[in-house]
C-alpha cells in the first residue's frame, strides 16, 4: 500500500491564532471563556475544558473574572458592542481574513451596494459577517441559488453589488458563482475572499483524490472546511472522514491512499494518524518536518514563488506555500498606475515575488511583483544600452521635464529634448502611446534609466526619406498630416518627408491665411506638383480640379443663365455681385437700371440680393458680365406684348345711366 500526504494540512493561521490565544491566557494564569467552541475539534475542546475553559453562547453568560475570547469565526457587530457595554475583559481572535470580509460588508452598505455572500447561512462565520452588514444583503450557497435569487429579485441586476465568499467556501463553486454573476450583472464588484490556505488545501485534496484509490480526511465532523474537503475528494474516489487514528479503516494491499486534514485538525492528531499508517505499511512519513517547513518564517527582501489564488480590485491574493497569507497590493503589481489587477494576472498564474513586509500578528505577507520584474529588467536594459538596441514601451506619465515610458516593469525617463522629433512639440500627445526608444543612460545606484525616442525617430525618418525619394514622381497622390502653418502655406508630413502646399493651392477662393482652410494635425489628401530633388523640396497641390469654380460655372451657368446674385462691391462704373462662391461678376452702371442713373449706389447697396442675367464670360481673363437691365427690358417687353394681345373691352350704352349713378350716390350717402 502506498500512502501520500497533502503538503497543506492542519491548523490554518486563523484557527492556530485563536487556539494559541486561549492557551496563552491559561499560561498567564487567567481564566478563559470562549464564545462558542474555539475550534471544531473534540480533542482540543476536550483538553481546554479539562483546563477550566468555559464555553458560553452569549457575552452575558461570561462568569465573573473570566476573559472572553471571540473565536476565529468572528461575531456580529452587536455582539462586540454587547461585550463592551457589559465591561467584559475580552480578546478578539477573529481571523484577519474574516475581519476583512466584515469591513467589506460594512463598506458595501455605506456605499449603497447590495452585499452578496457565498456561504452557509447557518455557519457562525457567515452569521458574523451578515451581522456587520449595514444595508441590503443576501446569502447563497451555490450558483443555482444565485440564479434563483436574481430571478426572484430582477432589480438586483441593475443595482451595484459587492460579492464575497465565506473563507472556507468551496473554491470550485465560487468560480461558478463568480462566472454566473459576471454574465447576469454588469454592476458587480467581486472580491475573492476564500482563504488562500483553504483554496490551496482544496486544490491539493482534489489533485490527490484524482490519483489515489482512497482518501482519508482527518478533522472534526462539525468542521465546515473539513466537510468540504471530504465532498471534494468523494467526487473522485472513496473518501473517509475520521477524527482520530483509531477510526482508520482497514485498506487492502496494493491500494494508494491519500491523506489530508482540515484547518481545525491539530498536528498531534495528524501525526498520530500517520504513525498508525506507517505501522501498517512500514512506510515512514516525516510529517513533522513538512509541518515545520510550512511554518517557516519568511524574511523581508526574500524572494518567493507564488500562485495567484484570488483577485480583487485593490490587491491580488497569492499562495506562497506557507501558513502566512500572501497579498500583492495593486501598486506593487505593475509600474503602470492605470492598470487593473485583472488585466495583469489571472487565477493560477505563477510568479516570482519579493517580500516587502511581514505581519506575524495578522499572519500576512505583503509582496511585490513589479520590484522583482524591475530587478530582472536592469540586466536587460544594460545589455540593450551596450548593443544600442531599440526597445518598445508605453508612455504612462507626462512629468516635469519629460515623459515616463514603461518597459516591462521598468520606468524609463525620457527627457523632453529626447521625447519628440523636434523641440516644442506637445508631450501630452504621447500619453498612452506605444513608442520605440533606446537606452542612453543606466545608473543602478540611483535606480535611474534614461531613454531617447528622438534618436529612433530620426533614424526612421531618414530611412523613410530615402525610400520616399526613390519612389516619388510628380502627380502621385499621398495622405499626409498637417505639421505646421505659415503665412505663405502649409507643411504636410508625408511619412518622414515634408512637402509644402502654397496658400494659393489651398483654396479656389481667395484666403488671407492657411488657417482658414486647415489646422495643424489635420489629415489631408495631396498630390505632388513639383520636385526639387537637389534641394530636397516638394511642392504639393491640394485643390481638386473638379472643385474649380470656373469649371462649375462653365458646366452649370452658361451665357444667358438667369440666377440670384449678391452685391459684394461698388465702383464708379458699376457693382460686383457674387454668382457662385469664388466668382464675382460685374454689373456695369449702364446695366443696373432701365433708365439713366448717376452712380450704382442710387439703386443698389452692398448685401442686396438681386436677379441677374449672365451676358458674357471670358474664361481666359476670368471675367463675367452681368445685367439687371436686360431682365427689366425683357420683363417690360413681355408686359407690352401681353397688353397688345389682350381683347378690347365691350362698351355698353344705356339711357338709365344717370338714374343708376344717382342711386349709387344715394347708397354711398346712406
Integer Cα distance of 77 and 128 in angstroms: 8
- Cβ–Cβ < 8 Å for 198, 173: no
Integer Cα distance of 627 and 563 in angstroms: 11
Q: Which three cell numbers stand for residue 141?
A: 450557497
CA atoms within 13 A of residue 335's CA, in its CB half-sphere = 22
Integer Cα distance of 563 and 483 in angstroms: 41
Phi-psi region of 301 (alpha: psi -120 to 50; beta: other; left: phi over 0): left
Q: HEC profile for 160-182?
A: CEEEEECCCCCHHHHHHHHHHHH
Integer Cα distance of 475 and 525 in angstroms: 12
- Cβ–Cβ < 8 Å for 592, 628: yes
- Cβ–Cβ < 8 Å for 226, 217: yes
Integer Cα distance of 633 and 44 in angstroms: 122
Residue 546 annotated to the active site: no
Phi-psi region of 398 (alpha: psi -120 to 50; beta: other; left: phi over 0): beta
Strand partners, 437: 391
- Torsion over CA: 167, 169, 172, 177 (sign): negative
- Cβ–Cβ < 8 Å for 262, 218: yes
- Using CA atoms in the order 110, 115, 117, 122, what is the torsion angle rounded to 10 degrees? 80
Sequence-separated (6 or more) residues with CB below 8 Å from residue 17 = 72, 93, 95, 363
- Cβ–Cβ < 8 Å for 378, 444: yes
Residue with cell 503665412: 487
Residue with cell 458680365: 625
Integer Cα distance of 415 and 448 in angstroms: 12
Integer Cα distance of 521 and 504 in angstroms: 20
Q: Which three cell numbers stand for residue 263?
A: 484547518
For the chain, the C-alpha Rg in angstroms (whole number) is 45
* Identified catalytic residue from 60, 110, 125, 546: 125
Active-site amino acid positions: 125
Amino acid at each position: 500500500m502506498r500512502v501520500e500526504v497533502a503538503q497543506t494540512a492542519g491548523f490554518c493561521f486563523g484557527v492556530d491564532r485563536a487556539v494559541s490565544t486561549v492557551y496563552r491566557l491559561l499560561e498567564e494564569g487567567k481564566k478563559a471563556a470562549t464564545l462558542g467552541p474555539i475550534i471544531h475539534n473534540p480533542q482540543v475542546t476536550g483538553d481546554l475544558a479539562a483546563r477550566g475553559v468555559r464555553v458560553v453562547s452569549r457575552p452575558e453568560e461570561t462568569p465573573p473574572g473570566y476573559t472572553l475570547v471571540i473565536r476565529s469565526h468572528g461575531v456580529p457587530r452587536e455582539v462586540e458592542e454587547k461585550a463592551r457595554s457589559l465591561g467584559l475583559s475580552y480578546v478578539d481572535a477573529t481571523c484577519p481574513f474574516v475581519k476583512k470580509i466584515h469591513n467589506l460588508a460594512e463598506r458595501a452598505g455605506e456605499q449603497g451596494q447590495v452585499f452578496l455572500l457565498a456561504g452557509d447561512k447557518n455557519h457562525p462565520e457567515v452569521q458574523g459577517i451578515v451581522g456587520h452588514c449595514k444595508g441590503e444583503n443576501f446569502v447563497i450557497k451555490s450558483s443555482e441559488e444565485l440564479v434563483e435569487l436574481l430571478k426572484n429579485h430582477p432589480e438586483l441586476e441593475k443595482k451595484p453589488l459587492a460579492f464575497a465568499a465565506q473563507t472556507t467556501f468551496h473554491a470550485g463553486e465560487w468560480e461558478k458563482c463568480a462566472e454566473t454573476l459576471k454574465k447576469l450583472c454588469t454592476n458587480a464588484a467581486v472580491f475573492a475572499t476564500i482563504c488562500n490556505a483553504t483554496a490551496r488545501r482544496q486544490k491539493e485534496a482534489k489533485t490527490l483524490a484524482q490519483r489515489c484509490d482512497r482518501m482519508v480526511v482527518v478533522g472534526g465532523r462539525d468542521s465546515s472546511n473539513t466537510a468540504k474537503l471530504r465532498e471534494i475528494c468523494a467526487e473522485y474516489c472513496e473518501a473517509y472522514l475520521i477524527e482520530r487514528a483509531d477510526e482508520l479503516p482497514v485498506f487492502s494491499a496494493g491500494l494508494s491512499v491519500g491523506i489530508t486534514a482540515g484547518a481545525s485538525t491539530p498536528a498531534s492528531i495528524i501525526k498520530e494518524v500517520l504513525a498508525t499508517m506507517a505501522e501498517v505499511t512500514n512506510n515512514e512519513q516525516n510529517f513533522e518536518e513538512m509541518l515545520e517547513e510550512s511554518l517557516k518564517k519568511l524574511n523581508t527582501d526574500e524572494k518567493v514563488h507564488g500562485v495567484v489564488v484570488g483577485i480583487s480590485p485593490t490587491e491580488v491574493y497569492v499562495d506562497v506555500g506557507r501558513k502566512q497569507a500572501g497579498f500583492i497590493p495593486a501598486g506593487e503589481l505593475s509600474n503602470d498606475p492605470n492598470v487593473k489587477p485583472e488585466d495583469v494576472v489571472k487565477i493560477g498564474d505563477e510568479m516570482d515575488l519579493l517580500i516587502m513586509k511581514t505581519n506575524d500578528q495578522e499572519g500576512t505577507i505583503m509582496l511585490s511583483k513589479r520590484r522583482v520584474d524591475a530587478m530582472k529588467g536592469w540586466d536587460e536594459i544594460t545589455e540593450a544600452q551596450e548593443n544600442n538596441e531599440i526597445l518598445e514601451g508605453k508612455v504612462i506619465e507626462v512629468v516635469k521635464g519629460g515623459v515616463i515610458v514603461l518597459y516591462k516593469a521598468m520606468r524609463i525617463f525620457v527627457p523632453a529634448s529626447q521625447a519628440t522629433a523636434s523641440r516644442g512639440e506637445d508631450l501630452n500627445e504621447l500619453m498612452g502611446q506605444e513608442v520605440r526608444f533606446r537606452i542612453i543612460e543606466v545608473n543602478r545606484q540611483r535606480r535611474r534609466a534614461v531613454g531617447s525616442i528622438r534618436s529612433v525617430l530620426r533614424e526612421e525618418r531618414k530611412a523613410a526619406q530615402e525610400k520616399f525619394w526613390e519612389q516619388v514622381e510628380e502627380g502621385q497622390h499621398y495622405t499626409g498630416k498637417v505639421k505646421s502653418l505659415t503665412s505663405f502655406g502649409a507643411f504636410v508630413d508625408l511619412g518622414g518627408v515634408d512637402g509644402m502646399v502654397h496658400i494659393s493651392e489651398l483654396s479656389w477662393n481667395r484666403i488671407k491665411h492657411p488657417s482658414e482652410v486647415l489646422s495643424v494635425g489635420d489629415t489631408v489628401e495631396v498630390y505632388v506638383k513639383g520636385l526639387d530633388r537637389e534641394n530636397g523640396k516638394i511642392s504639393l497641390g491640394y485643390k481638386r480640379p473638379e472643385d474649380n469654380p470656373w469649371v462649375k460655372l462653365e458646366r452649370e451657368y452658361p451665357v444667358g443663365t438667369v440666377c440670384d446674385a449678391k452685391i459684394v462691391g461698388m465702383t464708379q462704373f458699376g457693382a460686383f455681385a457674387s454668382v457662385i462662391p469664388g466668382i464675382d461678376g460685374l454689373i456695369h452702371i449702364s446695366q443696373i437700371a432701365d433708365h439713366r442713373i448717376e452712380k450704382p449706389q442710387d439703386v443698389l447697396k452692398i448685401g442686396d440680393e438681386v436677379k441677374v442675367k449672365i451676358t458674357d464670360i471670358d474664361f481666359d481673363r476670368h471675367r463675367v458680365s452681368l445685367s439687371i437691365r436686360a431682365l427689366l427690358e425683357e420683363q417690360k417687353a413681355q408686359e407690352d406684348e401681353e397688353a397688345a394681345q389682350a381683347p378690347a373691352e365691350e362698351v355698353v350704352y344705356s339711357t338709365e345711366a344717370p338714374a343708376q349713378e344717382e342711386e349709387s350716390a344715394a347708397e354711398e350717402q346712406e
